[in-house]
Amino acid sequence: MHPLLKSRAAAVLGRLGVVALLVVTAGTLHASASSAKGAARIDRDVFGHLADGTTVYRYTLTNGHGMRVRIITYGGIIQTVEVPDRRGHPANVTLGFDNLDDYVANNSPYFGALIGRYGNRIANGRFTLDGVTYQLPINNDPNSLHGGTVGFDKHVWDATPVHGRDTVGVKLRLVSPDGDQGYPGTLTAEVTYTLTASNGIRIDYRATTDKATVVNLTNHAYWNLAGEGTGDINDHLLYLNAKRYTPVDSTLIPTGAIDPVAGTPFDFTKPTAIGKRIRESHQQLIFGHGYDHNFVLNRKTAHKLELAARVTEARSGRVLSIYTEEPGIQFYSGNFLDATLVGTSGKMYRQGDGFALETQHFPDSPNHPNFPSTVLRPGQVYQTTTIYQFSTTH
């Protein structure tokens, strides 16, 4: 790097109270920022190439407090999340693949991916907005799932490293043209992943449009706090800050009802093992092949970050707490993992080997006027934050 640029970069980071070193060489980027608490750094390498030659980069965020997170520009996918257990031993706690080809060929489970424009299902792939009916691709018969056939999880995002005072991150940007997957309006989406010094992954979502449209962005990471590839998550204790959920029909579209969880296998208001009631002959569990439902979060405020879920794995002592500004969270117990995919560490994934907790507006909201609105209009800014916070029990 030109020495002037190098000193400017150092000056900028210096102003942020961070001692920084930035070195860019052909194809790789390495930046480190050290503070009294430890060293945080961003590295970049080439993860692979798409068939058309597009380069997919991988950003490795390290926080100097035992956590390392890898993000790839294809789908904005969180590839790995290494987190220490109570004794300080790290394990990768998210499901994924070790190479790009597998993500491109098989990402029907949406491992770690950014989901857009619309997280979860829209009934029959159809909705009406301001009197106009829009038809989306039917990729989960008879519905449209996770933004359609070529959702945001299948695009290569532009990426810029981001340095904070004691954080490192990567800002991703994607412009989805008017009519993309049937959705109206040019949607400009920005998602920033930040690894904090306190072992949190913060995800800031932002979007604007030039025509009225609907938006519901989320991330589809699957977690196994004992370590990816170590078995199922049935023993993980789950707490959900939700007294109500949205029951679904046999195609997993909400009926429109908002039902209490009390007295059902959907009551996670006290920490309960995920597997404890998963085989009960409850109609909703049968429809979902397990848990695959949106929970209505108890909220004290309309839009501030509040605790949505907390998951504890006893043997490792790892705890994942999820804070969000969203009204809902989809709890999916990995029901459709079917032993056909081999994950990052070379182990095959079976049903229930990971769970997803996707912070979101409710599925099929455009067809349910009683659900919080997902409409975004020109001049408005869609902005929402979710934090995946890791800690350990003693």
313 counts as catalytic: no
Contact 284, 266 (CB under 8 A): yes
280 counts as catalytic: no
Of the residues 97, 152, 183, 332, which one makes contact with ligand BGC according to CB under 6 A: 332
Please identify, using beta-carbon distances, which residue of 152 and 332 lies nearer to ligand BGC: 332
Counting contacts by CB under 6 A, is residue 120 touching ligand BGC? yes
Least distance from ligand BGC to the Cβ atom of residue 121, Å = 7
Residues 239-298 that bind ligand BGC (CB under 6 A): 252, 292
Please identify, using beta-carbon distances, which residue of 197 and 297 lies nearer to ligand BGC: 297
Phi, psi of 100 (to 5 degrees): -65, -40
The interface mask with ligand BGC, positions 206-245, x = CB under 6 A, is ----------------------------------------
- Give the DSSP letter of residue 37: T
Compute the distance between CA of residue 74 and CA of residue 49 in angstroms, rounded to an integer. Answer: 10
Q: Which of the following is catalytic: 236, 326, 358, 361?
A: 358
The interface mask with ligand BGC, positions 92-111, x = CB under 6 A, is -----------------xx-
Tokens at 221, concatenated: 């990471």
CB atoms within 10 A of CB 141: 10
Least distance from ligand BGC to the Cβ atom of residue 293, Å = 8
Strand pairing of 348-349 and 341-342? antiparallel
Q: Cα separations (Å) of 288 from 193, 285, 357, 365?
A: 30, 5, 15, 19
Residues 339-358 that bind ligand BGC (CB under 6 A): 358
Residues 302-331 that bind ligand BGC (CB under 6 A): 330
Alpha helices, DSSP H, located in 92-140: 100-106
Tokens at 291, concatenated: 């848990």
Cα dihedral: 257, 151, 194, 95 (round 10):
80
Please identify, using beta-carbon distances, which residue of 22 and 253 lies nearer to ligand BGC: 253
Please identify, using beta-carbon distances, which residue of 54 and 251 lies nearer to ligand BGC: 251
Compute the distance between CA of residue 89 and CA of residue 240 in angstroms, rounded to an integer. Answer: 27
Where does this chain bind ligand BGC (CB under 6 A)?
A: 109-110, 120, 252, 292, 330, 332, 336, 358
Residues annotated as catalytic (active site), given as ranges:
220, 358
